[in-house]
Structure 1
Amino acid sequence: MKIDDKEIKIESYDIFTYRRIRRAIGYLGISLPILLVGLSLISLFKTAVQPSISDYYYTNLREIFTGTLCAVGLFLICYKGYGNSSIWKNDNLLTNIAGIMALGVALFPTNPDDFKAKIYTLIPYSEKWLGWLHYGFAALLFLIFALLAINVFTIGQEHETRTPKSILNENNIYRVCGYSIIVFVIMVPIAETFNLFNYSTLVFEALSLFAFGIAWLIKGRALGDKGVIGQKIYQENNPVNTEKVFEE
């Protein structure tokens, strides 16, 4: 089928828009733990380093915590991914659910040490089960992050036949990020149960967000796709490969 130049330009514009959204999601994910911990080390904010990222809800940095999560959630909901007959590979469905989960994590905080000082954004009651909603939203959110990296982001090169493929091929990076998210999330309760080290929850949550952010940045081609990077990561040399435009 013949495709005219106008259609290619429109499709290429859409691809660049998708990439900008992907990069925005990636940068937000990586910046959240860096901002929270970094600002905690500045006496001006009068906030100590917290045991977990979720605990920042009860500090002076609450707006950064909730604002970043809400931004990620809205970007994920607005992001129009591709449909797939399998729900485990349905980009649009998974990103919409992840967006709702991110908003849930932001709006339903974790249970605090002092329930008398508990503040809820939506439901003003000090009930432990409301805090468990936060944990459920967070667990499902990270699970979907892993599914997106492992099952969805790898579709573009699933049937790629060109060889040789570099160890830095994008699909390898996505899988490493996806499986890393799963490992880090599993390590959170293990580290807490066995008291492995201080701030273990904060560290593993941050690592999970870093893995999530890296996957989205690679998908958004934050490093570019020319020259060596294009060859090793994406197996292409041009900034826009019209053969791949319709696969992404």
Structure 2
Amino acid sequence: MKIENKEIKIESYDIFTYRRIRRAIGYLGISLPILLVVLSFISFFQTPLQHSISHYYYTNLREIFTGALCAVGLFLICYKGHGNISILKNDNLLTNIAGVTALGVALVPTNPEVASDKIYTLIPYSEKWMGWLHYGFAALLFLIFALLAINVFTISHENKIPLSKSILNENNIYRFCGYSILLFIVMVPIAEKLHLFPYSTLVFEALSLFAFGTAWLIKGRALGDKGIIGQKLYQENNPIDTEKVFEE
């Protein structure tokens, strides 16, 4: 009996560790654009509002931009998801690739608006193609974010209960977030080319990060999973009673 209780405790610790990592990733994704924009309006930082999140690399808020992306990248690399025969559903592979590309976005900056503003990082080259490499990393990163939400997060979970599906079911939220990421990223070049409105790139990038962060927060059960929330979002009746587990 004691051995069984010990196994349950270890399993519950693992579950809660994964949930904390997911919530950390979600909070970082949502807070990054908010923090950059808010601090842009504080005169102390002497940083005007930028046309894209990537251009904050060339401002006094550079450390926040690179730091948050590096943190997300490291969390994703350390996050050990489930394997799958299908590459598009392989949690572990996709999160590792996303982690590497997040580091690439942070450490390989976009092209500055003024060529003389180029700031050297780990790669001491100022060729214009380096900026396109940054965009390649960013595009792949958001594509993987969408794949994770649509293909991986929606994989059926155990411990389901026979309740009628709610529009707030987690899979509906994941799909909405995933397709929203794809839509917002496609809108970035379209809005920029058509000059739809000022700071369109910044807005659509921020919306993509909000969708990404929301999916990870729901996956990390940031709203809790007991009672009505557990039934509506996760179709569960609290399969793990954590308070009971830790008391035994």
Query: TM-score per shorter chain, which class?
Result: over 0.9
CA shift for structure 1 position 162: 2.3
CA shift for structure 1 position 117: 1.9
Provide the identity percentage: 81
TM-score by length of 1: 0.93
Instruction: Find the residue that maps to 2:198 and give its secondary structure.
Output: coil
Structure 1 stretches of 5 or more lacking a match?
Answer: 243-248
The residue identity in structure 1 corresponding to 2:41 is L
Tell me if the contact between 2:159 and 2:236 (Cα under 8 Å) persists in the aligned partners.
Answer: no
Tell me if the contact between 1:226 and 1:239 (Cα under 8 Å) persists in the aligned partners.
Answer: no
The residue identity in structure 2 corresponding to 1:166 is S
Alignment partner, residue 130 of structure 1: 130
How many residues matched?
240
Tell me if the contact between 1:89 and 1:148 (Cα under 8 Å) persists in the aligned partners.
Answer: yes
- Counterparts of 1:81-160 in structure 2 under 5 Å? 81-157=81-157
Which string of whole-angstrom CA distances, capped at 9 and with x for unpartnered residues, describes residues 114-149 of structure 1?
112201311222200011110000000000000000
1:53 aligns with 2:65: no
The residue identity in structure 1 corresponding to 2:101 is M
Alignment partner, residue 67 of structure 1: 67
Structure 2 stretches of 5 or more lacking a match?
Answer: 243-248
CA shift for structure 1 position 235: 1.2
Structure 1 residues 233-242 or 21-30, which shifts more? 233-242
Structure 1 residues 121-130 or 233-242, which shifts more? 233-242
Which string of whole-angstrom CA distances, capped at 9 and with x for unpartnered residues, describes residues 150-183 of structure 1?
0000113499672301100000000000000000
Structure 1's 165 and 157: CA in aligned 2 closer, same or farther, altered over 3 A? farther
CA shift for structure 1 position 103: 0.1
Tell me if the contact between 1:107 and 1:120 (Cα under 8 Å) persists in the aligned partners.
Answer: no
TM-score by length of 2: 0.93
Structure 1 residues 4-13 or 18-27, which shifts more? 4-13
Instruction: Find the residue that maps to 1:120 and give its secondary structure.
Output: coil
Alignment partner, residue 181 of structure 1: 181
Cα RMSD after superposing both structures? 1.7
1:76 aligns with 2:57: no
The residue identity in structure 1 corresponding to 2:24 is A
Alignment partner, residue 168 of structure 1: 168
Instruction: Find the residue that maps to 1:17 and give its secondary structure.
Output: helix
Which string of whole-angstrom CA distances, capped at 9 and with x for unpartnered residues, describes residues 186-215 of structure 1?
000000010000000000000000000000
